[in-house]
């Protein structure tokens, strides 16, 4: 009889102690050895990332065995006293790193798996950490406390009463902390985008304090439900900020306050974090407005009293009815013009000092009366102008077509013959045409079509001067080409521009005159490589290297041509230093 009493007392004591223990499964997580290239480095970074998030982890030194079967995983979990095992494989495909990660419970059975990718192993490791935390299976320190049942536990023994809250007149929202680089800046833009709208914004700090007072874990899947009900919060806005390949992006989602359901999600991007913040602030309300309106409280409809019979008046005059609000015509509110979005640059204007070197050479000069010409160093100025008028109004296809203009002139100088006689020389170039671009993150490919004039003439402003074997040129041409602009560095302040174009000659000036080679045929090309550095307010400093080339098949006419040569090559090298404004 005494033994029976002792046993019963033991059972009762165990039940009492059980009520003071959290029902969430305690334990640690073990990161198994990963497979594939750079696997050890990624594993170490994942371990560090989870440790920073207060996840209870088994030290990597203890996790060395590699198993394949379920029983083996179960033995490994028991040996390590781990409630979760994380394993997987890493591989590289082109420019992307890809990770396939699986999670197993203490019994060795796989319970979840996911795939993530990125362009670097650093970002890949961070994404693996974020995905693991989102599973809700990571044992985080402080998730459960004695005497408190974790919210959302399916076998919770203690029911938490729902507080009664007065129904708000407008939807009540909380903008939660965003995750990722510059998350605070983007969250601030989201808050600004909601200010002045027909909603009530609840401070995230107050929301966290309420959750703490209710012992609610906001990191759990349904941890926000209890504080949301306590404060009458209808929905929560959460966000993730990423920066990959020079492009900033943000995923913002609206979560129902009464459940863990994601109602809607929208994507934003920008070339810089500031541009992304502007995009979020400008578009957030328009994107989520319809879903937020679902939270508006339903108005009670008054029950009309039973109609009372009224005796019609004997007079033939109609009884005038006082107009009511319902009888008045409804005026539709004007749609607010959407705020300005982040748009590509509309203007690019550049001013430079230039230095030009020219070399004109002949091929197969049979008579020997043609002379090569070299300009060692010709200083001058140039300006370039690109204008995209549609970029003032849109960021779509209408913003990508523009005009292209360029003018270059060397300062007046004299050329000297072999006998020491000097004569004035003029050199300049003019281009005008159309330009199309396709902005894609930090890259901006372009296509160009221009009409151009490029001349290098002797004896300008006076009578013709005999230059003894050196003709003047005046190239008129149609120019077609392509190129790109790319930003490099953390804030894309380092700029590289490359253009290449073909010049279809319409005429060549003096070299194809009757005095020289009337049957000459030729064409040309040009290439530009420019390096720049971005300054505040859209200003840039630029250094450019340019090359132009014209080639000719001269076709001298028999029987007695003044000059006989098979071909000619006219080349120009240019160096430019200047500043630009791009807005």
Closest CA to 196 of 336, 341, 340, 291: 336
Say which DSSP state 152 is in. Answer: T
Closest CA to 202 of 176, 174, 182: 174
C-alpha neighbours within 13 Å on the C-beta side of residue 246: 16
Q: How far apart are CA 481 and CA 573, in angstroms?
A: 19
Q: How far apart are CA 582 and CA 537, in angstroms?
A: 9
Q: How far apart are CA 50 and CA 29, in angstroms?
A: 10
Q: How far apart are CA 360 and CA 376, in angstroms?
A: 12
pLDDT in tens, the chain (583 residues): 455 454 544 444 444 444 433 333 457 899 988 888 888 889 999 999 888 888 889 888 788 766 667 778 888 888 888 889 999 999 988 778 899 999 999 888 888 889 998 888 888 999 999 888 888 888 877 544 333 333 334 343 334 444 445 556 789 999 999 998 888 899 999 999 999 899 999 999 899 999 888 888 888 878 888 889 888 899 999 999 988 777 888 989 999 988 878 888 898 988 888 889 999 999 999 999 999 988 887 655 444 555 544 444 444 444 444 444 444 444 444 444 444 445 688 999 999 999 999 999 999 888 878 888 899 889 999 999 999 999 888 878 888 999 999 999 999 888 876 666 777 889 999 999 999 999 887 899 999 999 999 999 887 655 555 566 788 899 999 999 999 999 998 778 899 999 999 999 999 988 888 888 888 999 999 999 999 999 988 999 999 999 999 999 988 877 677 788 889 999 999 999 999 999 8
Listed in sequence order, the residues at least 6 apart from 16 whose beta carbon sits closer than 8 Å to its beta carbon are none
Q: How far apart are CA 480 and CA 367, in angstroms?
A: 37
In three-state secondary structure terms, 373 is strand
Chain position carrying tokens 């943000």 = 250
Q: Which domains does the chain have, with CATH numbers?
A: 23-134 (3.40.50.10070), 172-293 (3.40.50.10070), 347-582 (2.40.128.100)
pLDDT of residue 70: 72
pLDDT of residue 299: 58
Q: Are 556 and 565 in contact (CB under 8 A)?
A: yes
Q: How far apart are CA 98 and CA 96, in angstroms?
A: 6
pLDDT of residue 318: 42
In three-state secondary structure terms, 178 is coil
The three-state DSSP-derived secondary structure of 75-123 is: HHHHHHCCCEEEEEEEEEECCEEEEEEEEEECCCCEEEEEEEEECCHHH
- Give the CA angle between residues 140, 145, 151 to the nearest 5°: 75
pTM of the complete model: 0.46
pLDDT of residue 314: 46
pLDDT of residue 481: 97
> DSSP per residue over 421-482, as a string?
-EEEEEEEEEEEEEEEE--BTTEEEEEEEEEEEEEEEESTTSS----SS---EEEEEEEEEE
Tokens describing residue 505: 């000659």
Q: Are 138 and 50 in contact (CB under 8 A)?
A: yes
Q: How far apart are CA 293 and CA 157, in angstroms?
A: 36
Q: How far apart are CA 207 and CA 218, in angstroms?
A: 10
Q: How far apart are CA 231 and CA 174, in angstroms?
A: 10
Q: How far apart are CA 377 and CA 364, in angstroms?
A: 27
Distances from the Cα of 362 to the Cα of 37, 273, 359, 369, 378, angstroms: 58, 56, 10, 11, 22
Q: What is the dihedral of CA 146, 149, 151, 155, to 10 degrees?
A: 140
């Amino acid at each position: 009889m005494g033994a029976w009493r002792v046993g019963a007392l033991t059972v009762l004591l165990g039940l009492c102690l059980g009520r003071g223990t959290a029902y969430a499964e305690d334990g640690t997580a073990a990161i198994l050895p990963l497979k594939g290239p750079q696997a050890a480095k990624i594993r170490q970074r994942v371990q560090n990332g989870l440790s920073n998030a207060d996840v209870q982890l088994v030290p990597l030194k203890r996790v060395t065995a590699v198993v394949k079967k379920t029983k083996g995983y179960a033995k490994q979990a028991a040996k390590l006293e781990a409630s979760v095992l994380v394993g997987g494989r890493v591989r590289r495909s082109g420019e992307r790193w890809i990770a396939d990660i699986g999670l197993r419970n203490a019994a060795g059975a796989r319970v979840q798996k996911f795939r993530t990718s990125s362009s670097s192993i650093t970002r890949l490791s961070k994404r693996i950490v974020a995905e693991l935390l989102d599973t809700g299976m990571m044992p985080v320190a402080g998730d459960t406390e004695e005497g408190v049942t974790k919210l959302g536990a399916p076998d919770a023994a203690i029911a938490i009463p729902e507080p009664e809250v007065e129904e708000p007149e407008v939807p009540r929202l909380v903008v939660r902390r965003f995750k990722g680089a510059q998350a605070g800046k983007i969250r601030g833009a989201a808050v600004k985008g909601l200010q002045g709208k027909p909603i009530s914004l609840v401070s995230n700090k107050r929301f966290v304090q309420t959750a703490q007072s209710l012992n609610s874990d906001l990191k759990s899947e349904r941890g926000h439900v209890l504080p949301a009900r306590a404060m009458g919060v209808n929905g929560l806005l959460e966000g993730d900020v990423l920066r990959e390949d020079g492009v900033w992006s943000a995923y913002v989602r609206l979560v129902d306050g009464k459940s863990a359901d994601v109602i809607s999600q929208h994507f934003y991007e920008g070339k810089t974090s500031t541009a992304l913040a502007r995009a979020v602030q400008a578009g957030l309300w328009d994107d989520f407005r319809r879903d937020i309106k679902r939270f508006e409280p339903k108005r009670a409809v008054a029950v009309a009293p039973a109609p009372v019979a009224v005796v019609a008046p004997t007079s033939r005059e109609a009884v005038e009815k006082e107009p009511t609000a319902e009888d008045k015509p409804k005026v539709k509110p004007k749609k607010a013009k959407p705020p300005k979005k982040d748009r590509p640059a509309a203007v690019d204007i550049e001013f430079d000092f230039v230095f030009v070197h020219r070399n004109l050479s002949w091929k197969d000069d049979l008579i020997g009366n043609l002379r090569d010409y070299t300009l060692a160093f010709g200083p001058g100025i140039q300006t370039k102008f690109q204008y995209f008028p549609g970029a003032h109004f849109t960021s779509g296809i209408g913003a990508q077509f523009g005009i292209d203009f360029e003018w270059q002139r060397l300062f007046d100088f004299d050329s000297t013959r072999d006998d020491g006689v000097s004569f004035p020389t003029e050199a300049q170039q003019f281009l005008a045409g159309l330009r199309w671009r396709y902005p894609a993150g930090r890259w901006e490919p372009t296509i160009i079509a221009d009409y151009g004039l490029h001349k290098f003439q002797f004896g300008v402003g006076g009578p013709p001067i005999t230059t003894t074997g050196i003709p003047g040129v005046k190239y008129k041409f149609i120019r077609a080409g392509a190129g790109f602009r790319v930003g490099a560095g953390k804030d894309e302040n380092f700029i590289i521009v490359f253009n290449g174009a073909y010049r279809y000659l319409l005429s060549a000036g003096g070299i194809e005159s009757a005095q020289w080679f009337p049957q000459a045929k030729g064409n040309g090309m040009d290439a530009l490589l420019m390096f720049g550095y971005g300054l505040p307010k859209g200003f840039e400093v630029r250094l450019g290297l340019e090359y132009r080339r014209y080639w000719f098949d001269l076709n001298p006419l028999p029987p007695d041509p003044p000059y006989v040569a098979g071909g000619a090559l006219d080349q120009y090298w240019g160096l430019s230093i200047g500043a630009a404004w791009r807005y």
